[in-house]
Structure 1
């Protein structure tokens, strides 16, 4: 029988009853199905407190803890703290989905944080980083009834690979802004248009899993403009027809579709206003949302306002602009006016959440973190 709950007690002392002990020497073992991916970056401490889950801890410095689990939704509860020094932990789920960012805990204090994680490839891998990361305990439970928020889109939305850091799609940053009742399932893929995403079977893959009361967020347009046959769509015709398939597919499952206009690229006119590089594709989404009575998050409009307010120079901190030697994975520097670095993707994810609130998408708005 496949387990549906896992409990781990991290550190040096005796394990709490019902928990599996994890020490700094607990390297991932496929036979066990759990462990740290790099124990050379893990240390352990015992603070001698009577509480088994608080007395000892592990310090995972830029490494991951992996647990092999069946695909699906999971609720993860993490206990973090240290009796003698402050802790500050960032937590991501493979591949780079942000769950917590610089969660600070004062010395002598402990917190229990609960997050939702979607697993597609049989492994729940939690990456720890931050100035002073700590983990005292982990509890993992299957959550098949959780609401899924599926994302269909392109490279501005997708989970960018670790080797491309700090590249990030806004979909990667979205889990941090949602309560664990809603779990993000990011199916967006770089280079796809509304047409090619369907042709490759990616929409079908989403709909095979989708259940009643889930959500499907749909953002395309960047690659629908491309001239090749595989991706190009006409904004007044085929683009609308393909988007309609996403809406109808979600509704056929009892799920809630949400249309999103494409986030703007970083191109400015001489007067400081943002140049619209998407043209009629944006209006096509707005018109279709009205026609089909689908909630619309106008990310084009909100990103335009943000980028014009920030200005041409400051928006380099949103997009993938890096000087020589600034980013380890791009030692020669990079200038990209379409894709985001992690801090920028966080800002765009916040715009999406603002759109959920302003559009009053219910009950999804109820599950936003304050």
Structure 2
């Protein structure tokens, strides 16, 4: 972290601090000596106990303060900004999940649109040195050109979740243009690792195995035309964000706003990922683990491939993921077996 950008008296506001990426980032910033203001509403989209476990690793540190707030509560967010005056804001709070956006669209509009608007308004009224916010690889929709580049057209989202993330990019650009808010959007590509999100496939597969259930794979059993995903290990993601914080964008094309892909730049076949997970769980448990597999048609809103070009981010901060899935999944499997006592 460049000391000329932040002093140790500056604070960093991280929304979604009890979430997967938010908790890891909070821990990293505290290890670097920065005060972290954590915000999370601790909703029950997935196991709140896991969110609390993440928080428990943070709250004992004097550099961390936690506020149970929903970012869609504008008055509460304004109070936090007024009282804490953060130098940097990293907005990771969002309603996640592609398929859930079909079942419960209201949650996405409230959190991802109204909530993000509140963040922008607070950054307008209480100026910050840098706003970093979570976008998603989902904005690329059914884009068939790979790897995905930030210059690709992203006007055809295939889920409401993706549409809300595209709207975040447009809103951030506008606020940056109008109010000089240096803003960086990050298009995340399938982040995984210990203490990850239970709604992600690798976590759900593991849950089902230990429950004695089969796993559903939405690729029609078409191994020649399998799904590809740019799986990105959590530590690589955190390294990238850490390097970005002291590097706010300068004005270009009318605004100090930029969007980066943050992924592994090395997509894996879904079936390869699954077999690697089976091996990792076998190592962690000391017994042979083989999933019982049911093959289903691809679901509405899903895409066949995600593949990040990360050249742009590498040019700016030297971002280059280093964790192969064999290592990352082994760390996840070891954590899971210990955490859940399997």
| TM-score scaled by length of structure 2 | 0.39
Higher Cα radius of gyration: 1
Greater share of strand residues, 1 or 2?
Answer: 1
Relative contact order: is structure 1 or structure 2 higher (C-alpha 8 Å, sep ≥ 6)? Answer: 2
Structure with the larger helix share: 2
